[in-house]
Amino acid sequence: MRGLLTFLALQIGWFACVLGGARGNVWIGPLVVAVLGLILVVRLLVTATGYVPGVDDGSPWLAYLILGGIFLLAGMFLWRKKER
């Protein structure tokens, strides 16, 4: 089942890039790829944090904490760049 979902996600990203560019909507492809990339990062973090001692296998709270910290740091960086 996981292989089928991976294949479908790849095809959705590919066709969004190609058809969006062909129809003049070049922003659709990168947007879809960014959403699929975010889903991939969350799934990888949930899997990786399952190996940490003291965290239940498949419990996503630590992955969400790490991802929230990454977004917080990115937001702080962009906010600082805005004020210059």
pTM of the full structure: 0.68
Residue 50 has pLDDT above 90, yes or no: no
**What CA–CA distance (Å, rounded) separates 59 from 24?**
42
Asked whether the predicted pLDDT for residue 75 surpasses 90, the reply is: yes
Confirm if 63 and 42 have CB atoms less than 8 A apart: yes
Q: For the chain, what is the domain count? A: 1
Give the residue numbers spanning the domain of 30. Answer: 2-82
Most confident of 46-55, 58-67, 72-81: 72-81
Average pLDDT (2-31) is 86
Angle at 34 between CA 40 and CA 9, to 5 degrees: 55
- Average pLDDT of the chain? 86
Q: What is the pLDDT of residue 72?
A: 96
